[in-house]
Amino acid sequence: MTSPSGIIDLRSDTITVPTPAMREAMARAEVGDDVFGDDPTVKRLEERTAELLGKEAAVFVPSGTMGNQIAIRAHTEPGDEILVEANAHIYYYEAGAPAALSGVMCRCLPGDRGVFTAAALEAALRPPDQHFPRSRLVCLENTHNRGGGKVWPLEELQSVAATARHHELRLHLDGARLWNAAVASGIPEREYAALFDSVNVCFSKGLGAPIGSAVVGTREFIARCRRFRKMLGGAMRQVGIIAAGALYALDHHRDRLAEDHANARRLAEGLAALPGVELRPGEVETNIVLFRVRRLKAADLAAQLEPRGVRVLALGPDRIRAVTHLNVSAADIEHALAAMAPLLR
């Protein structure tokens, strides 16, 4: 489904708009006061999400950033240390929230497109000593945003998780695009989630809902998360209207993520054939395409594409991100390539 604006917007999968059927579901939603636990649609969404991920309970939150941050706060105490890959969303794109909101330090591990090894984790752990912060929580991201939509291999996840458990560390998964990982790998979301104490999933990216994420875990853990959700201003009232959009997305938009992945591969193949582009199509596993331009600045390419009806995101002097999603069709990909070709040549 092409964007209603006619613009082919490849900046992110966050720019999706609800389909007419999703809007209808939202308009018909039963609502109540969610802070009092009275919203039946939110309850159904939380139960459905927890069931899909194989956990006891879930809590609905406004954004993925809030989901990650209440999970970090629920797992840690001020002065603790969390271990993350150096390009993780939690560290790179959440405005310093681990330090500001939870009083924890981030220890950054080197990774390959967002994936680090059990050996890297082991090497980063500090011995027990009063001089050091307490290592408490390991956070992983699947798929990895700055890794170009990289899917963590299950065996690597299992190895990292085993090392973390050996050292009595807790595990949190930033699964904003876990739906994409499951479709691309054929591994159910609950199989990934089984390795973690908590998982954050997003409804407003590839699934196309307008708002919302959820954190899952044990009932006790989610009760603690609800306290921190309230503390951060994320407790909402008659929120069933937007929870209905997320429920619709879970039931109707998960399998179609394969279309986004196919469109991303076609875009990558077309770009790789153009001169002045540095790109490895084989690394495009899901819906994110990262490439470098050699003959002009990334910001200049983005600016010149705008009047041609195509939007991309400049990530640095020569790096571009393009993301496929619900509002980008196969025909849109061909149009985008046709718009880019003369500029890149």
Q: Is CATH 1.10.510.10 the right assignment for the domain spanning 31-252?
A: no
pTM for this predicted structure: 0.96
Closest CA to 24 of 241, 203, 205, 239: 241
Q: What is the pLDDT of residue 5?
A: 64
Residue 161 and residue 172 in contact, taking contact as beta carbons nearer than 8 Å: no
More confident residue, 1 or 162: 162
What's the pLDDT tens digit per position in 130-149? 999 999 999 999 999 999 99
Q: What is the mean pLDDT of residues 173-188?
A: 98
Q: Is CATH 2.40.420.20 the right assignment for the domain spanning 8-16+256-344?
A: no
Q: Which residues contact 228 (CB under 8 A, 6 or more apart)?
A: 69, 70, 73, 74
Residue 62 and residue 36 in contact, taking contact as beta carbons nearer than 8 Å: no
Q: What is the mean pLDDT of residues 6-14?
A: 95
Q: Residue 146's Cα: distance from chain center in Å?
A: 10
Residue 113 and residue 283 in contact, taking contact as beta carbons nearer than 8 Å: yes
Q: Given this chain, do its domains 8-16+256-344 and 31-252 carry the same CATH topology?
A: no
DSSP state, 21?
H
Where along the chain do its domains lie?
8-16+256-344, 31-252
Q: What is the pLDDT of residue 1?
A: 59
Share of the chain above pLDDT 90, in %: 95
Q: Across all residues in the chain, what is the average pLDDT?
A: 96
Q: pLDDT at residue 4 above 60?
A: no
